[in-house]
Amino acid sequence: MEGKEEDVRVGANKFSERQPIGTAAQGDDKDYKEPPPAPLFEPGELCSWSFYRAGIAEFIATFLFLYVSVLTVMGVVRADSKCSTVGIQGIAWAFGGMIFALVYCTAGISGGHINPAVTFGLFLARKLSLTRAVYYMVMQCLGAICGAGVVKGFEKGRYNSLGGGANVVNAGYTKGDGLGAEIVGTFVLVYTVFSATDAKRNARDSHVPILAPLPIGFAVFLVHLATIPITGTGINPARSLGAAIIYNKDHAWDDHWIFWVGPFIGAALAALYHQVVIRAIPFKSR
């Protein structure tokens, strides 16, 4: 009995200090080291096959994203009765579901950006070089144009009459409304991307497993539910550009600037908020 009592006493006092968990463990850096910021220019990337492979992955992912999502929009718009289609909820699921699937497929190759606004936000946070950021954006836009082009090939004569899936500010809303919707919607998306892929959070909260593509896709779904009635939901300049180029009508180009300025502002605000407030990275003092 004395031996057992000694074991109990030692066991109770062996870990006298409570170990911090969750947010209380933010100051514990034993299992995490802040990676160095990506260089502004990295010429060596241009000689690496992995660099070009990542760009191809972004092209194919954005191509598939536009193909499925815009084709879903076409199916809803052309129906006489919305009750016979998937409706707005179905469109939102198509966009969010494709992002979930494509980010899951390409995250290990290119990071699974599939969106110039996401790339821009990660660039501002110094997660990738300017060289890679520009390359990704070009490949994303080319993929989006090709994806929308294939949809037009399927729809043929009906494509233009159905609006081509192009983003415009809908009747009853001002350009300011549209710009605000794009800024806030993109903020939600890019903030979710930062949070879901934060290595420090994963190390700190390892007891809370997370599949990064899931919250990212779900954020896209929710933003579409909220803003489809306002702008058709852009929050992705490549998606808006691809549909606008293939549709190529004046009223689509009149509002097109909103779908670049809004997402880029939203992405910049999300990067600033996450890096300075959430991650609490201090400014260097001289």
Q: Taking the mean position of all CA atoms in its chain, how far away is CA 171? A: 27
**DSSP assigned state of 170:** P
Is 285 a domain residue? Answer: no
Q: What pLDDT does 246 receive?
A: 94
What would the two tokens of residue 129 be? 């070089």
* CA pseudo-torsion sign 177, 258, 61, 106: negative
Is 178 a domain residue? Answer: yes
Q: Structural domain of residue 119, as residue ranges?
A: 43-277
Is 251 a domain residue? Answer: yes
Could you state, in chain order, the average pLDDT of each consecutive group of 10 residues for the chain (286 residues)?
A: 51 43 42 75 88 97 96 84 78 96 95 96 94 97 97 84 90 96 98 88 58 93 96 96 94 94 98 86 52
Is 232 a domain residue? Answer: yes
Residue-wise pLDDT tens digits, 189-213? 999 999 998 877 665 655 555 688 9
Q: What pLDDT does 210 receive?
A: 64
Is 81 a domain residue? Answer: yes
Please state the pTM of the whole predicted model. 0.84
Is 29 a domain residue? Answer: no
Integer Rg of the chain from CA: 23
Tell me how crowded residue 109 is: count the other CB atoms within 10 A of its CB.
15
Query: Half-sphere exposure of 12 toward its Cβ, with a 13 Å CA cutoff?
Result: 6
CA nearest to 210, candidates 223, 199, 219, 220: 199
In the chain, what's the furthest Cα-to-Cα distance? 90
Residue-wise pLDDT tens digits, 67-86? 999 999 988 887 776 666 78
Residue type, 183: I
CA nearest to 116, candidates 274, 245, 264: 264
Q: CATH number, domain at 47?
A: 1.20.1080.10
Is 157 a domain residue? Answer: yes
The total of structural domains in the chain comes to 1
3-state secondary structure at position 264: helix
Is 272 a domain residue? Answer: yes
